Amino acid sequence: MILTVTLNPSVDISYKLNQLEIDNVNRTSSVSKTAGGKGLNVTRVLFQANSPVIATGFKGGYLGAFIEDELNASQIKNSFYPIKEETRNCIAVLHEGNQTEILESGPYISTDELQGFIKHFEKLMDEVQLVVFSGSLPAGVPVNYYSDLIKICNHKSIPVIADTSGIALTTLLEQSNKPYAIKPNLDELSQILGYTVSEDITEMKNALKHEMFNGIQWIFVSLGANGSLVKHDDEYYKVNIPKIGVVNPVGSGDATVAGFASAYSKDKSVIEIIKTANTFGMLNAMEQQTGCINIDKFEGLYKQIKIIEV
Ligand code: ADP
Report d(CA 48, CA 45) in Å as an integer. Answer: 5
Give the per-residue pLDDT at 181: 98
Report d(CA 168, CA 133) in Å as an integer. Answer: 11
Report d(CA 166, CA 23) in Å as an integer. Answer: 34
pLDDT tens, residue by residue, 31-87: 999 999 999 999 999 999 999 999 999 999 999 999 999 999 999 999 999 999 999
Q: What is the mean pLDDT of the chain?
A: 96
Q: Which residue has its alpha carbon closest to ligand 1 atom 2?
A: 253
Report d(CA 158, CA 180) in Å as an integer. Answer: 9
Which among 82, 79, 40, 37 is positioned nearest to 61, based on CA atoms?
A: 82
Distance (angstroms) between ligand 1 centre and the Cα of 87 equals: 28
Distance (angstroms) between ligand 1 centre and the Cα of 238 equals: 14
Distance (angstroms) between ligand 1 centre and the Cα of 40 equals: 18
pLDDT tens, residue by residue, 72-86: 999 999 999 999 999
Are the C-beta atoms of 267 and 130 separated by less than 8 Å?
no
Q: Work out which ligand 1 atom sits closest to the CA atom of 281.
A: 12
Q: Work out which ligand 1 atom sits closest to the CA atom of 249.
A: 20
Average pLDDT over residues 219-226: 96
Average pLDDT over residues 227-256: 96
Task: Give the Cα-Cα-Cα angle 250, 252, 258 (nearest 5 degrees).
Answer: 135
Distance (angstroms) between ligand 1 centre and the Cα of 259 equals: 12
Give domain limits for the chain. 2-309
Distance (angstroms) between ligand 1 centre and the Cα of 186 equals: 11
Which among 301, 251, 193 is positioned nearest to 36, based on CA atoms?
A: 251
Q: Which residues line ligand 1 (CB under 6 A)?
A: 185, 222-225, 227-228, 241, 244, 246, 249, 252-253, 256, 278, 281-282, 285
Distance (angstroms) between ligand 1 centre and the Cα of 121 equals: 30
Distance (angstroms) between ligand 1 centre and the Cα of 181 equals: 17
Report d(CA 162, CA 218) in Å as an integer. Answer: 11
Is pLDDT of 97 > 90?
no
* Stretch (H or E) spanning 76: none
Are the C-beta atoms of 86 and 107 separated by less than 8 Å?
yes
Give the per-residue pLDDT at 102: 95
* Stretch (H or E) spanning 16: strand 10-17
Q: Which residue has its alpha carbon closest to ligand 1 atom 10?
A: 253
Query: What ipTM was predicted for this assembly?
Result: 0.97
Instruction: Choose the residue to mutate in 164, 252, 260 for probing ligand 1, maximizing ligand atoms within 8 Å of C-beta.
Output: 252
Is pLDDT of 170 > 90?
yes
Which among 9, 189, 192 is positioned nearest to 90, based on CA atoms?
A: 9
* Stretch (H or E) spanning 25: none
Distance (angstroms) between ligand 1 centre and the Cα of 256 equals: 8
pLDDT confidence tier of residue 286, bands split at 50, 70 and 90: very high
Architecture of domain 2-309: 3-Layer(aba) Sandwich (3.40)
Which among 282, 280, 305 is positioned nearest to 44, based on CA atoms?
A: 280
Which alpha helices (DSSP H) does 132-185 contain, by range?
Answer: 145-155, 166-174
The rounded percent of the chain whose pLDDT value lies above 70 is 100
Instruction: Choose the residue to mutate in 187, 189, 222, 279 for probing ligand 1, maximizing ligand atoms within 8 Å of C-beta.
Output: 222
Which among 175, 188, 304 is positioned nearest to 240, based on CA atoms?
A: 304
Distance (angstroms) between ligand 1 centre and the Cα of 152 equals: 31
Is pLDDT of 160 > 90?
yes
Are the C-beta atoms of 65 and 35 separated by less than 8 Å?
no
Average pLDDT over residues 166-189: 94
Give the per-residue pLDDT at 99: 87
Instruction: Choose the residue to mutate in 279, 282, 287, 304 for probing ligand 1, maximizing ligand atoms within 8 Å of C-beta.
Output: 282
Q: Work out which ligand 1 atom sits closest to the CA atom of 183.
A: 3
How many CB atoms lie under 10 A from the CB of residue 95? 17
